[in-house]
Structure 1
Amino acid sequence: MSSTNRWLKPEVYPLFAAVGVVVGICAMQLVRNITTNPEVRVTKENMAAGILDNFEEGEKYAEYGLRKFVPKRPPQIMPSVNNFFSDPN
């Protein structure tokens, strides 16, 4: 049995899809950080600038599209579960 036949079974397709999605998310975040993060400097001219106090650019980076879409929601994935275990009654 060759390795291709061993790994390319229909049962393995969801695993490949999940790993593909995770790699895509990681690549998207890497590109976002390299291109728009005000603290990351790739070119020599930008590295020579030192520390910049550019608060507008930092605010623009922190308030990305998803945060603008849901501005009133707490930054938690499961707020009801977090409140159940953290808030004393």
Structure 2
Amino acid sequence: MASSALSKWLRPEVYPLFAAVGVAVGICGFQLVRNVCINPEVRVNKEGRTSGVLDNFAEGEKYAEHGLRKFLRNKSPEIMPAINGFFTNPK
């Protein structure tokens, strides 16, 4: 019984499905850990929960303006800007 189920799901056609689901689970796990560990609005311990609403704007700004967002802020929203420029701006 177990070998037939294993042979049904471990075929080469199913590998992309496993990869896509694995990437999705990895992204969800990363976001969960990121929010629990460094989000200023999430307080897990009891002392943090009793403090109520905090006006920590600097910490919130640091969380929202992370390195990837700063890096991409002045970039053009194109996948391949060199190829797009080649075809749209002929010399």
TMscore range, shorter length: 0.7 to 0.9
**Alpha-carbon distance change, 62 to 48 in structure 1, aligned in 2, over 3 angstroms:** same
Give the letter for the 1:5 counterpart.
S
Unmatched tracts of structure 1, length 5 or more: 79-89
- TM-score, normalised relative to structure 1: 0.79
Instruction: Say which structure is richer in helix.
Output: 2
The alignment covers a number of residue pairs equal to 77
Q: Is residue 50 from structure 1 mapped to residue 52 from structure 2 by the alignment?
A: yes
Structure 1 runs of 4+ aligned residues shifted over 4 Å read none
- What does residue 23 of structure 1 align with? 25
Structure 1 residue 72: Cα displacement: 2.3
Larger-Rg structure: 2
Gaps of 5+ in 2: 80-91
Say what the alpha-carbon RMSD is for the aligned residues: 2.0
CA positional deviation for 1:38: 0.6
Q: Using the alignment, how far apart are the partners of 1:69 and 1:49 within structure 2?
A: 34
